[in-house]
Structure 1
Amino acid sequence: MTTYASAVPLDRESTGLQAVLLDMDGTLVDTEDLWWEAELSLLAELGHRLDHADREAVVGGPMSRVVDHLLAVSGLALTAERLGTMINDRFAERIAHGVPLRPGAAELLAELAAEGIPAALVSASHRRIIDLVLETLGSHHFAFTVAGDEVERTKPHPDPYLLAAARLGAEPGRCVVIEDAPTGVRSGEAAGCRVLAVPSVAAIEPAPGRTVRASLEGVSVALLRGLVP
């Protein structure tokens, strides 16, 4: 496991919640269907039909896993890099005019800012996609963002969340990760963070250190503080 140096040390004598680390697709913005439509339509044009089992396999990324799966089931004579670029291009076209926020997302981000709780956006999506989504979501809500193509190992490895916690100077065990997909949940838990799951496509069951809610509606800073011992 990679160790990251703290960038902005917080008060280590204080207790409770230090930071909130948020996933993007399917968690803050309602884009999982848009990703699937991009993949479905592109593969159809290339002569292969995807089904529900394929959607279960690719939800939550990262792009490397999505591409590996699609190449395996389709037998397309494309490089992984080329197919990944084609999927990102198709998705970028679909969000050119903005993306819908998930219910409760705007309210939660506003409350985090009002309460002075540091927040970071941690996504398996590539930087170009994050920057497009931030035009709707608002970059001012986050201390920084971490993209899937900016870390050596992205989700489900713990590296993205360890990096985010370190850059905030926070202890992983005093951070809450908010995720919608099993891949991201595994990443947050492997980093040692508390996890709040708001499933979008694939089911997620409660577990020790993991809380499951139907959506972000009603998720408050008080609730998040209650997740951290």
Structure 2
Amino acid sequence: MPSPDHLAAVLFDMDGTLVDTEDLWWDACAEVARGLGAPLGPGDRQALFGLPVEDAAAHVLGRVSDDPGRDSVEAMLTGAFVRRIENGVTPLPGAVALLESLRVAGVPAVLVSASPRTVVDIVLEIVGGHLFRLSVAAGDSARNKPAPDPYLAAASRLGADPAACVAVEDSPTGIASARAAGCAVIAVGPLDAASGVTTVPTLESVDLPLLRRLVSGQVPPGA
């Protein structure tokens, strides 16, 4: 029987958690909306933060008068995002070092992203696919974030109990998904303390002892 602090896996969100892509995603959304004759404003940026492509497409469609169809807008958003990703992305501070420490310790790391498989595979090449046991992208589960399906799919494919996994997230959408799946959650970045999860400024503050304490419940939510 596993010990109370058994860490089965660490499940990482991608955009804004491991790699600096939030500006690229916003630029892609703004480009598509502008091309459809519905320029986005500052308030739209927060609304689009952390959204999977299908929800972002719905947001954009809510602003246009001539509806080209959700599938078309999703394809445009994905294409615009991929073009930007292909020009290069930067791993966020502490990301590669944390992944390497998990690899050395034999703790599986899994990428759990709301982005399309095309985007995920490009980022894996840049960050290092060898550092991940597996990856889950949009379309790999029945529903995308904020539903629990992506995290449940990751745990199932590993044969792990979600409660023995820590999810690393940066958005309310992703946090909701991971918590609904039953994972312990740690959030990176300037999220409101009301999110109810442990937060750190960067991944440089995350190490194996902290991850194990999260799984065992030794770190109170919101700490």
The normalised TM-score by structure 1 is: 0.89
Q: Deviations over 1:156-206 (max 9, x none)?
A: 001111111121121111110000110000000001111000136xx3425
Query: Which position in structure 2 is the counterpart of 1:5?
Result: none
Map 1:1-150 onto structure 2 (within 5 A).
12-16=1-5, 17-150=7-140
Distance in 1 of aligned mates of 2:124 and 2:88: 9
Distance 1:206 1:77, change over 3 A: closer
Deviation of residue 139 (structure 1)?
0.9
Q: Which moved more, 1:117-126 or 1:94-103?
A: 94-103
Q: Which runs of 5 or more structure 2 residues have no equivalent in the other structure?
A: 217-223
What letter is aligned with 1:13?
P
Provide Cα deviations, 1:65-105, integer angstroms capped at 9, x if missing partner. 11111101233421101011011111111121321111110
2: distance between equivalents of 1:46 and 1:141?
A: 39
Question: How far off is 1:125 after superposition?
Answer: 0.5
Matches of 1:225 and 1:206 in 2, distance apart? 23
TM-score (norm 2): 0.91
In structure 2, what is the equivalent of residue 162 of structure 1? Answer: 152
Describe how 1:154-193 pairs up with structure 2 within 5 A: 154-193=144-183
Rate the CA distance shift 1:204–1:140 in 2: closer, same or farther, 3 A: farther
Divergent runs of 4+, >6 A: none
Q: Distance in 2 between matches of 1:194 and 1:155?
A: 16
Distance, in Å, in 1 between the alignment partners of 2:195 and 2:24 is: 29
Contact 1:181 1:204 (8 Å CA) reproduced: no
Q: For residues 207 and 180 of structure 1, what CA distance do their matches in structure 2 show?
A: 11
Structure of higher RCO (CA pairs closer than 8 Å, 6+ residues apart)? 1
User: What CA distance in whole angstroms lies between the structure 2 residues aligned with 1:95 and 1:13?
Assistant: 40
RMSD across aligned positions (CA): 1.4
SS of 1:125's equivalent? strand
The percentage of aligned residue pairs carrying the same residue is 46
Count residues in correspondence: 215
**Contact 1:196-1:212 at 8 Å conserved across structures:** yes
Partner residue in 1 for 2:220: none
How many angstroms does 1:41 deviate by? 2.0
Q: Matches of 1:131 and 1:14 in 2, distance apart?
A: 34
AA at the equivalent of 1:205: A
Q: Distance in 2 between matches of 1:153 and 1:68?
A: 15
Aligned to 2:219: none
